[in-house]
Amino acid sequence: MKPHIIITEVLAQFTSVNTSASSALQFLNGLSSMFSLTFNIDLKNNHMLQFIRKAISAHMIVKPKYEDTWNVGILFDYWREKGSNRNLTNIELQTKLTSLLMTICSMRPAEIEGISLRHSVICEQTDK
């Protein structure tokens, strides 16, 4: 029996238990590497295995890496729920101002993380 047929059968058995496309692709790559080393043949260029890899990859749902990292709507909703600025503490006001300014600037998250509120000065004057 040819190695690519064995791999196909074993992969079919594996995917009946674990239906994750990424797991199947990882299993396929590991299994074909094992057979390549065992039988001293090049399975990387095998058309049937290339077809299987493409089919599995087509079923993988790719989620952007930073999709949920910076959802500005969540930030705006948070500050809307806090109500009037008069009800916020100085630290909350500084945080609100900084976070809202960051939505319109092009700072990287690592730079934003380095911002310290300890060095900011708040004027305690009120308008009459």
Output the average pLDDT for the chain. Answer: 74
Domain borders along the chain are 3-58, 72-119
pLDDT at 69: 62
Write out pLDDT tens, residues 75-96. Answer: 888 889 998 888 898 888 888 8
> In degrees rounded to 5, what are phi and psi of residue 106?
-110, 40
What integer is the mean pLDDT of 111-120? 66
Q: In the numeric block, which tokens belong to residue 108?
A: 């990287």
Q: Which of 17, 16, 14 shows the shortest CA–CA distance to 29? A: 14
| Confidence (pLDDT) at 44 | 73
Q: Return the pLDDT at 121.
A: 62
Q: What does the block give as tokens for 95?
A: 């945080």
The least confident of 68-77, 80-89, 109-118 is 109-118
- Label residues 67-96 b or e (16+ Cβ within 10 Å = b): eeeeeeeeeeeeeeeeeeeeeeeeeeebeb
Average pLDDT over residues 30-52: 77
Tell me the three-class secondary structure of 24-90, residue by residue. HHHHHHHHHHHHHHHHCCCCCCCHHHHHHHHHHHHCCCCCCCCCCCCCHHHHHHHHHHHCCHHHCCH
Query: Which pLDDT score, from 0 to 100, does residue 124 have?
Result: 61
Q: 0.75 exceeded by the pTM?
A: no
